[in-house]
């Protein structure tokens, strides 16, 4: 079965986020001073073939740990969604 993972990778809260700081400062220039503490991260969508949801989850977890997120600077979260297979079944 094919599964889709929606992954969010964000900088650790204890670390400075220069992009977020720049965007926060720009909000004042746009007359939006109410918007503060912006943090910028990555959104990754991928599909994985697996026998079941647990196997798909493990594969995505491995991809996040080994490639998609740098654990020294980032954390990640993800959700799994079942995709339709070729026969049209979920």
> 29-48, pLDDT tens digit by residue?
999 999 999 999 999 999 99
Range 64-82 average pLDDT: 96
- The pTM assigned to this predicted structure is 0.83
Domain range summary for the chain, segments of one domain joined by +: 2-82
Pick among 3.20.20.140, 3.40.50.720, 3.30.1280.10, 3.40.630.30: CATH of 2-82: 3.30.1280.10
* Contacts of 7 by beta carbon, 8 Å cutoff, 6+ apart: 42, 43, 44, 45, 46, 60, 64, 68, 76, 77, 78
Is the pLDDT reported for residue 86 higher than 90? no
What does the pLDDT read at residue 47?
97
The pLDDT mean for the chain works out to 92
Q: Evaluate if residue 87 carries a pLDDT over 50.
A: no
């Amino acid at each position: 079965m094919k599964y889709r993972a929606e992954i969010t990778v964000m900088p650790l809260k204890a670390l400075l986020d220069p992009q977020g700081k720049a965007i926060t400062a720009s909000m004042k220039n746009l007359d939006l001073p109410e918007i503060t503490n912006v943090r910028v991260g990555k959104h990754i969508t991928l599909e994985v073939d697996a026998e079941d949801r647990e196997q798909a989850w493990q594969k995505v977890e491995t991809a996040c740990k080994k490639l998609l997120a740098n654990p020294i600077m980032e954390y990640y979260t993800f959700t799994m969604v079942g995709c339709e297979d070729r026969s049209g079944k979920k």
